[in-house]
Amino acid sequence: MDKNSKIYVAGHKGMVGSAIVRKLQSAGYFNIVCRTSRELDLRNPVAVSDFFQKESIEYVFLAAAKVGGIVANRDYPAEFIRDNLLIQTHVIDAAYKNKVTKLIFLGSSCIYPKHAPQPLKEQYLLSGALEPTNEPYAVAKIAGITMCQAYNRQYGTNFISVMPTNLYGPYDNFDTHTSHVLPALLRKMHDAKMDGQPVVEIWGTGKPYREFLHVDDLADACLFLMNHYNDQEIINVGVGDDISIAELAHLVSAVTGYEGQLLFNSDMPDGTPKKQLDITKISELGWRARIPLRAGIENTYTWYLKSQQNLALASEH
Does the annotation flag 167 for ligand binding?
A: yes
pLDDT digit of tens for each residue in the chain (317 aa)?
A: 999 999 999 999 999 999 999 999 999 999 999 999 999 999 999 999 999 999 999 999 999 998 877 777 888 899 999 999 999 999 999 999 999 999 999 999 989 998 899 999 999 999 999 988 889 999 999 999 999 999 999 999 999 999 999 999 999 999 877 778 899 999 999 999 999 999 999 989 999 999 999 999 999 999 999 999 999 999 999 999 999 999 999 999 999 999 999 999 999 888 778 889 999 999 999 999 999 999 999 999 999 999 999 888 887 77
Catalytic-labelled residue, pool 8, 96, 112, 137: 137
Does the annotation flag 11 for ligand binding?
A: yes
User: How far apart are the C-alpha atoms of 207 and 274, rounded to whole Å?
Assistant: 9
Residue 137 annotated among the catalytic residues of the structure: yes
* Crossing angle (nearest 10°) for helices 293-316 and 181-195: 60
Does the annotation flag 17 for ligand binding?
A: yes
Does the bond joining 119 to the residue before it have cis omega, within 30 degrees of 0? yes
- Structural domains in the chain, sorted by start: 7-316 (3.40.50.720)
Does the annotation flag 180 for ligand binding?
A: yes
Does the annotation flag 90 for ligand binding?
A: no
User: How far apart are the C-alpha atoms of 252 and 89, rounded to whole Å?
Assistant: 38
pTM above 0.75, yes or no: yes
Cβ atoms 170, 208 nearer than 8 A? no
